[in-house]
Amino acid sequence: MPKTVKDAIQRGRATVGGVLQVGRTTVEDVLQVGRNTVEDVLQVGRNTVEDVIEVGRETVDSVRKLSDGTMRAAVLHGREDVRIEQVPVPQAGPGELIVQVGAALTCGTDLKVFRRGYHAKMIKPPALFGHELAGTIVEAGEGVVGFAKGDHVVALNSAPCGQCYFCRRDQENLCDDLLFNNGAYAEYIRIPERIVAKNTLRVPAHVPLEHAALTEPLACALHGFEDVQPRPDDTIAIIGGGPLGLMMLHVAALFGCQTIAVVKHDGQVEAAKQLGATHVVQATSIRNAIRDTRALTPGDRGVDIAIEAVGVPEAWEEAVEMVRKGGTVNFFGGCATGTSVKLDTNRIHYSDITLRATFHHTPAICRRALDLIAGGRFQASAFITGHAHLYKLNRVFEDLMKRSKEIKTAIVP
Ligand SMILES: [Zn+2]
Ligand SMILES: [Zn+2]
């Protein structure tokens, strides 16, 4: 019992205050939880609806496919215009294969094509789209030797003629009549006779198809790396943290070189470290990138080899400034048509700098690339950072244009 009236009032006030406080908190909690719950329900509802639509589409499509011989495929119509359409399932002519696509990978070249709407050498719309794939043979045309239904294969995106001046001089990547094939973002793809004969490789049983699909970009990276004739004790700077820059970095690290990854975005720093970068330079400006890279070499003398894997003229110029006397530069990233660079002739001459520019791959390099993937030291899974259904292809490319963290997305039909 309170001793005095004043105490009683005091205590009464405290009690009322407590009740109000607790009441308010309870109401706020209820509101808060209520809001979350409504949002959760909406979120789950949305996902479920999308899943249902997705599954529904697949079911409808597979029924249609069985009945009318069509398949889903991505068709490039122009700039940022790729449509998933029902097209006839291809049939194998003499010497050809039909491959059921197990995985098709997104690639910087496809992103360029998506943005521009075409590629002068490789693809003119309307056309089937995508070129990094591995899958299972479902049909072998008349006269095909060495392959049978059920085999897992990786079919490269091109094959040289074998007859021209360049082919006869072991420069098949420069073949006058390089035959390109597109259409990997689809359920099935036709492999032309020449690619079957020269550039289709059997995938060993222990290699997942999506890893085997890395053969093409890895062949380009290996080619660029071998072209600079590296020694295991070399220090190599790789400019660019895109899929090919990271692949080149990983190849150099596996070869035993000291590597300096010059990248721009935070996500690329982590990826570079995981793939074996000895040092990572996060470039805030070209000036700083050159200074910071040279600072990592004895007496700031510069790196033995610099590889440009961005594909912009400023980065080509940056690469030349990073190498030591007698060093080698590979302009690996292709720039837009009509661009040019400004180089210090004195520096190139008196410092005896070797300039290279590697393009594409040859059948022999493609075989070495698949061997590297199958060998187990190459971290194939680090390059495939996402999976998406063919229906989401447009969204995948839109995200890639926004410089998402993804390295490569496996498109599964
Ligand atoms: Zn590619
Ligand atoms: Zn040729």
Given the structure tokens 């597109």, which residue do they identify? 182
Q: How far is the CA of 233 from the centre of ligand 1 (A)?
A: 30
> Given this model, what pLDDT does residue 209 score?
98
How large is the greatest C-alpha to C-alpha distance in the chain, in angstroms? 113
CA distance to 9, 14, 192, 327, per residue, from 26 (Å): 26, 18, 70, 71
> Given this model, what pLDDT does residue 6 score?
76
> Given this model, what pLDDT does residue 2 score?
53
Instruction: Report residues near ion ligand 2: CB below 5 Å.
Output: 160-161, 164, 167, 175
> Given this model, what pLDDT does residue 124 score?
87
The one-digit pLDDT tens for each residue of the chain (413 residues) are 556 777 777 777 777 777 677 777 776 776 666 666 766 666 666 666 666 666 666 655 555 555 579 999 999 999 999 999 999 999 999 999 999 999 999 998 899 899 988 887 788 889 999 999 999 999 999 999 999 999 999 999 999 999 999 999 999 999 999 999 999 999 999 999 999 999 999 999 999 999 999 999 999 999 999 999 999 999 999 999 999 999 999 999 999 999 999 999 999 999 999 999 999 999 889 999 999 999 999 999 999 999 999 999 999 999 999 999 999 999 999 998 899 999 999 999 999 999 999 999 999 999 999 999 999 999 999 999 999 999 999 999 998 888 777 899 999 99
Sign of CA dihedral 359, 363, 368, 372: positive
Vertex 366: Cα angle to 253 and 328 (nearest 5) = 45
Q: How far is the CA of 217 from the centre of ligand 1 (A)?
A: 5
> Given this model, what pLDDT does residue 52 score?
66
* Closest ligand (CA of 194): 2
- Give burial (CB, 10 Å; 0-12/13-18/19+) of 191: buried
**DSSP β-ladder status, 188-191 and 179-180:** unpaired
> Given this model, what pLDDT does residue 234 score?
98
Q: Which residues contact 24 (CB under 8 A, 6 or more apart)?
A: none
Q: How far is the CA of 363 from the centre of ligand 1 (A)?
A: 15
Instruction: State how far the Cα of 225 lies from the Cα of 61, in Å rounded to an integer.
Output: 44
Q: How far is the CA of 141 from the centre of ligand 1 (A)?
A: 26
Residue 126: is the preceding peptide bond cis (ω within 30°)? yes
Which two structure tokens, joined as six digits, stand for 10? 């005091």
Sign of CA dihedral 413, 103, 73, 100: negative
- Comparing CA positions, the residue from 397, 341, 359 lying closest to residue 105 is 397
Q: How far is the CA of 360 from the centre of ligand 1 (A)?
A: 9
> Given this model, what pLDDT does residue 100 score?
97
> Given this model, what pLDDT does residue 403 score?
74
> Given this model, what pLDDT does residue 68 score?
76
Q: How far is the CA of 14 from the centre of ligand 2 (A)?
A: 93
- Burial track 256-290 (b if 16+ CB lie within 10 A, e otherwise): ebbbbbbbbeebbbebbeebbbbbbbbbeeeeebb
Plot region of 239 (φ>0 → left; ψ -120 to 50 → alpha; else → beta): beta
CA distance to 119, 140, 147, 152, per residue, from 136 (Å): 28, 11, 11, 5
Contact status, residue 123 vs residue 113, Cβ threshold 8 Å: yes
